[in-house]
Each structure stands twice: as structure tokens, then as C-alpha cells.
Amino acid sequence: MLDLAFVRDNIELVERKLAERGSALRLDRFREVDSSRRRLLTEVELLKSQRNKAGDQIGALKKSGGDASAIIAEMGGISDRIKLLDDRVKQVDEELREILTTYPNVPHETVPVGRSAADNVEVRRWGTPREFTFKPKAHWELGEQLGILDMERGAKIAGARFGVYWDGGARLERALGNFFLDTLTREHGYREVLPPAIVNSASLFGTGQLPKFAEDLFKLEGSDYWLIPTAEVPVTNLYSGETLDAADLPINLTAYTPCFRSEAGTYGKDMKGVFRNHQFQKVEMVKFAHPDHSYEELERLTGNAEALLQKLGLPYRVMALCTGDMGFGSAKTYDIEVWLPGLNEYREISSCTNFESFQSRRAGIRFRTGSKGKSELVHTLNGSGLATGRSWIAVVENYQQADGSIEIPEALRPYFGGTDRIPALKK
RNA sequence: GGAGAGGUGGCUGAGUGGCCGAAAGCAACGGUUUGCUAAACCGUCGUACGGAUAAUCUCUGUACCGAGGGUUCGAAUCCCUCCCUCUCCGCCA
């Protein structure tokens, strides 16, 4: 959510910036609602002030045994008027809030202007895609062939877009999760946290999924419980409504959780395998940073995710998302795309974003310098480090051998009990 | 699931209809003094949204005592609903 005063004072700037994102806006409506809200507030607050004064008089009169009935009768009318105006203020507040909460974030000045993914800018590239002496297979073929990924039974017990991992496949997923968490906590200064995979709607509002993107989520019937689409939601909201100490910033947290997405509107897209499932696992990194340093932290966060891919020996490229392709709350996002030989393309494996104060304003996450300073909103950032479901795909496809087995990357072997491969099934 | 207790400012904790944005203590901050790594004393000490103003300074108004609604001229205080915490019992991974 953008700051009310900021939008009011910079309305042309906001209009231009949001147009770059391809957002159709109601800024004139904003202006109208905002000024009528202020008019109403002035009026009703004046009346309340009168009421409070009269209340003091009534109290004093009653105490001294005087007759207050005249004032009380007069106040009845004012109270009715206040009630009426309060209702209107409430309506106007709601509309203003609705307008503000549907505005996406203002992109940072360094974000390339563009309309779609085609306008994203490649920032750098690491590693060279391996030359295969055979035609590399896609992960769903390999998974089935090796008996480690079972889409059929996933569909049977749950439905489309669910998979079951067996044996080395299950172990690979677990190894990746542990490897990521260990590396982030031991080498990059993150603190590990294991939050609920279910949150309430207030948390989803805080990080910006609600109210606009409810259709992307799974809601538990008859409750205010929702399955998390990413650990970003519970972890960012850990500090909602709290004031942090500036000396503690940046705070770096990491969590390994399942993620659930309805994938509404993606029918037919990435239907094979586990690239786009309703449930997947992911290690998420979340940062709470001082506004003066949040862009340094974004670079660091992105670098932390890259380091994981480098340790796994997986080629990737880093893309700066353009204004038209960024997420709703993002001020700036880098996507990291890993090379998938089976698909013969780079595909997203991590998305690293600086939300600036877009989330912290909604969630009420502040910091204070010393015990005297005025509290300010922190900047929140997050990125996958990494999506284990997609890392699984990348390992399987990049490390497949001519005999159909999968070599285990060096870095993962300690998590595989010394085994260096997932063997091909004997026929 | 059953029974009970409770949610007040950074913390502890008073307050059962007007004199309460809220006592007192602690913590924090500024100062004075003594002096030494501490004490005493004085003062300051919430947030949000409006208005005035050149001003994020200052002045001023309103709202906020878990959330929402109701009663009333007037609600932290009375009533209703919900949420959360604690205790005991039951059940259970």
C-alpha cells in the first residue's frame, strides 16, 4: 500500500509511475474521495469537540445538583448528526482504503520500463549449459523412469498438479531443503524459523496477497484459515504491528515450508511434471532492512540465492524484471532463472524483491533508532533460496547420465549418506 | 470438546458511566547535584488521522484501554458477538 500523504502530494508522479506498470488507475476518484473525507472529518470532529465540551458541563452540573436537561436535549440532536457523519466517514474511509490497497507499488528508478516478460533485462549469467552426448530428457520422463516421481498416483490421491516423490526422489527434495537452510544459516547470516503453513487473512493482507489475489489461494472452508502460497507470508508477518530496534537491522530470516497455490488461470500451462504444482516446497529468505540500505540488501539477497546455484553447479541467469512484469507489491525484482536442459530453456527458480515500505505499511512493521527516535517503516525484502521443487527439477535434468541415472551434485552428497547417484531402475 | 479466569500505554499495574489518554511503579530520554561507573532530585516520556503554519518544529482538534457492534447527552467502565491468553478436566499426534 502506498502512503496516503505521498499519493496526495505526488499524484502526477504516482500516475506516471503506475502507468509504466500498465495499471489503469482511478486517481481522479482518489482525489475526490480524499478531499471529501477531509471535509467530513473537519465537520464531524468539530461536532465531537462540542459534544465533549457539553459533556463536561453536564457532568459538572450533575455533580453540583444543577439541572442539565436543557443541554442534554440539545446534545441529542448533535449526537444524531455525529452518528450520521461517522457513518459517512466510515464509507469514505473504506473507499479510500480500497482505492489505495489496489494500487501496486511504485517501481524503483532503476527498474527497466517495459510491458511484459519480453522486456526484462538480463543482468548477468553464470555457468555454461552442459553439452550432452545424448538427448537430455525432461524431469517427468526421468522421474517416472527412475521410479522417483509418480504423477499418476499424485493425481489419484489428490488431483492434477500434484506429485508423489519416492525413494531417491523424496530424499533429493529433503537434501535440497537441508542444504539450502544449512548454507543460509551457516554462511550468510540467516536465522532459521519454522512458521505455520496456515495463516489468517490479516497476514495475507499484510504482505499484499489480499484483497486482490484471493483467487490464487486455497482457503479452508468455514474458517479464516488459508494455506500459505509462500513462507513470505508467515515470516514477514512475524513482526507485524511491532517496532524493531534499528540496531538489529537488517534481520535475516529463512524458512523451509510447503507452499500452496491454486494456479487459477494457468490452465494448460506447464502441466507436465512438477514445475507448476498446487503444492511445492520452498526455502524462503526474508529481510527486514533499514530504508537507507534496502537496495544493498536486495543485491545481497540475490547473491545469496545465486551462491546456492553455484554450489550445485547449476547454470543460471539473473533478470531484472521490467515495470510491466513485476509483482504487485514490488519496487524492484530480480528473477533468477536456472538452465533446464530437458526444456531447453532458462526458467524461474527464485524471485528476489524489495518491497520497500509497501508491505510494512500494511502490516505495521516499524523500527526506531535508539529509544527516542521517531518510528519509521522498515523495508521488507524476500526471495526464494531456493524453491526446492524446481531445484529438484534442475538437478535431475542437469545431472542426468547416459544410463538414465542421476548424479548427485558434490554439495548434496553429505545429505545423501555418501551415495553419489540415484540409480536407474533395473529392468 | 467441558468448566472457569483474564486481555489497559515499552513493561508491571490501578481504574465499574462524566473530574480518564488514563494513577502509581519500573524502564527510557533530558537536566541538576553529589561524585564515580552508581544514587538522589526535577522534567520529558504512545500512535493514527485532520486543521492552522513556510515547516517532518510548534499550536490545536478527533479517535484509539484485544476486535466489531449496541445502550447513553456521555463508555476503558454497562450489554452482545468474535478473537486471543491462562488454569483445571477430557481427548489426542
Strand B bases within 7 angstroms of protein beta carbons: 18-19, 28-29, 47-51, 56, 61-63, 69, 73-74
Domains and CATH numbers, chain A: 4-100 (1.10.287.40), 117-422 (3.30.930.10)
Cell numbers describing residue A272: 507436465
Taking the alpha carbons at both ends of chain A, their separation in whole angstroms is 58
Q: Which residues have a Cβ under 8 Å from the Cβ of A35 and sit 6 or more positions away?
A: none
Is pLDDT at A189 greater than 80 in this prediction? yes
Cell numbers describing residue A340: 533446464
pTM of the model: 0.91
What is the predicted pLDDT for the residue at A372? Answer: 63
Instruction: Indicate the pLDDT class of residue A268, thresholds 50, 70 and 90.
Output: confident
As a rounded value in angstroms, the CA-to-C1' distance for A236 and B55 is 35
As a rounded value in angstroms, the CA-to-C1' distance for A290 and B33 is 40
What is the predicted pLDDT for the residue at A265? Answer: 77
Is pLDDT at A427 greater than 60 in this prediction? no
As a rounded value in angstroms, the CA-to-C1' distance for A363 and B11 is 23
A366: which nucleotide lies closest, measuring CA to C1'? B47
Q: Which residues have a Cβ under 8 Å from the Cβ of A100 and sit 6 or more positions away?
A: A1, A2, A4, A7, A30
A243: which nucleotide lies closest, measuring CA to C1'? B10
* Half-sphere exposure (Cβ direction) of A46: Cα atoms closer than 13 Å: 5
* Half-sphere exposure (Cβ direction) of A141: Cα atoms closer than 13 Å: 10
As a rounded value in angstroms, the CA-to-C1' distance for A245 and B44 is 21
Residue nearest to nucleotide B51 (CA to C1'): A42
Mean pLDDT of chain A: 91
- Positive/negative CA dihedral, A324, A327, A333, A338: negative
As a rounded value in angstroms, the CA-to-C1' distance for A372 and B41 is 22
Q: How many residues does chain A have?
A: 427
The C-alpha atoms of residue A265 and residue A253 are separated, in whole angstroms, by 31
- Positive/negative CA dihedral, A267, A143, A335, A211: positive
As a rounded value in angstroms, the CA-to-C1' distance for A377 and B68 is 27
> In this complex, which protein residues place their C-beta within 7 A of any atom belonging to strand B?
A 4-5, 34, 38, 41-42, 45-46, 48-49, 51-52, 54-56, 58-59, 62-63, 68, 72, 75-76, 78-79, 90, 370-372, 374-375
Least confident of A8-17, A127-136, A279-288, A300-309: A8-17
A4: which nucleotide lies closest, measuring CA to C1'? B49
DSSP state letters, A215-270: GGS-B-TTSSEEE-SSTHHHHHGGGTT-EEEGGGPSEEEEEEEEEE---TT-TTSS
A44: which nucleotide lies closest, measuring CA to C1'? B62
A254-281 core/surface letters (b: 16 or more CB in 10 A; e: else): bbbbebbbbeeeeeeeeeebbbbbbbbb
ipTM of the complex: 0.82
What is the predicted pLDDT for the residue at A395? Answer: 97
